[in-house]
Amino acid sequence: MQNRLLPYWLLVPAFVIVLATTIYPVAYSFITSFRAWDLTESRRPQGFVGLDNYFYAATESAFLNSLWVTFIFVVTSVILTVVLAMALALLLRRKGPMHTFTRIVLILPFAMSPALIGVSYRFMFNPEFGVLANGIGAIFPALQGVPWLADPDLAMAILVLTDVWHWTPYMTFMCLGGLASIPRETEEAARIDGASNLRIVFGIILPQMRGVILVMAVLKTIFALKMFDQVVTLTGGGPGTSTETLAYFIFNVGFRWFDMGYASALAWILTAIMMFISIWYVRMLLSERKMATA
């Protein structure tokens, strides 16, 4: 009897930790999203307001703007990261004299803190003493002194650039893993039949990498939806509200404006978006497997 119960007892500490650190806060924030809670008035959540916080979100221009900004950011950063990672992986697949060194150098951006990346790029694009701003100005004199981060479109482009720079190495390694699992025989047979490199990539490699690319795209989408650190340290959401992502907006609502009920509702909207993407991803994977086994 004791032996049968022992495994469950051993699970108790882990269950308690997960309950305290994940399940309880998540459940608490869900309940809070249906309540009014102005931290300037009360340390504890106030009365229930039904779906008011969610209805308010649907009409608030600042929230709708942050949704649009997040959409633009996610689409551009995911596409660029996946394409660049795939291209780099194809280049790095062949072993050359710099093989190990290149891989080590490649991982460095991913090892950096996102907040630090934001600060660094802010300095590098400073029109007065930024190394990138001045470097671009030296190559293209017409661009000397351009205030890169002062333009809404350029600021968004630089925000995307920092994210792509950060994530591409990790995604490249995912691609390399996927490429290693593709049987070389098919590619060699295609070469013997006279297929060009481009044809091999699009006709043989990419179809077999579909599952890996899907995983990469979904993971990157979820990470991009949470974009926060670089917004804080690089642009502060500006100029205007041009780079104010949803995660940054939620932070403002909760920790600067102290509207915890509304912030919880916004957080759950973000969670719902991520859950929708995750469910879609699992379905896609399952249908892939069905096709593979059919």
Partner 1 sequence: MKLLTSAIAIAASLYGAQAFAWEATEGRPFEGQTVQVLAVKSSQFEAHEARLAEFEEATGIDVVYDYVPFPNMKEALTTEMVAGGDYDVVSVMDQWVVSLQMLLTPIGEEMEAQGTDLSDFPAAHMRHGMLDGELIGLPVRGHVQLLFYRTDLLEAAGVAPPETWEEMVTVAQAVQDSSDAAGIVLPYGKLSGQNMMVWMNLLWGNGGDLFDAEGNPIFNSPEGAAATETYIGYLTDEIVPAGSAVFVEQDAVNSFKQGNSAMLPVWWWVRSQLTDPEQSTLTADQVGFTALPYVDGADRTTFTNTWIFGVTEESDVKGAATEFLGWLTDPALERDVLLDPELDEVVAVHMSNLTDPEVNERWGGMHQAAADALATAEGIDFGDNWPRVSEILETAISSLASGEQTDVQAVLDQAAEDIVAIR
Smaller CB separation from partner 1, 3 or 40: 40
61 binds partner 1 (CB under 8 A): yes
Q: Which is nearer to partner 1, 110 or 123 (CB)?
A: 123
For residue 237, state whether it binds partner 1 (rule: CB under 8 A). Answer: yes
Of residues 134-153, which lie at the interface with partner 1 (CB under 8 A)?
145-147, 149-152
Residue 56 touching partner 1 (CB under 8 A): yes
Centre a 10 Å sphere on the Cβ of residue 115 and count the other Cβ atoms it contains.
14
Smallest gap from residue 232 Cβ to partner 1 (A): 8
Residues constituting the chain: 294
Q: Is residue 217 a contact point for partner 1 (CB under 8 A)?
A: no
Q: Is 257 in the site for partner 1 (CB under 8 A)?
A: yes
Contacts with partner 1 by CB under 8 A: the residue count is 36
Burial class of 18 by CB neighbour count within 10 A (0 to 12, 13 to 18, 19+): exposed
Nearer to partner 1, 145 or 183 (CB): 145
Number of neighbours of residue 229 by Cβ within 10 angstroms: 20
129 binds partner 1 (CB under 8 A): yes
The answer to the question of residue 228 lying near partner 1 (CB under 8 A) is no
DSSP calls for 115-179: HHHHHHHHHHT-TTT-HHHHHHHHHSGGGTT--GGGSHHHHHHHHHHHHHHHHHHHHHHHHHHHH
Q: Does 118 bind partner 1 (CB under 8 A)?
A: no
Scored b (16 or more CB within 10 A) or e, 126-155 reads: bbeebebbbebbeeeeeeeebebbeebebb
- Quick one: 36 or 86, whose CB is closer to partner 1? 36
Q: Confirm if 217 and 78 have CB atoms less than 8 A apart.
A: yes
- Residues in contact with partner 1 by CB under 8 A are 38-43, 56, 61-62, 126-129, 145-147, 149-152, 155, 235-242, 252, 255-259, 262
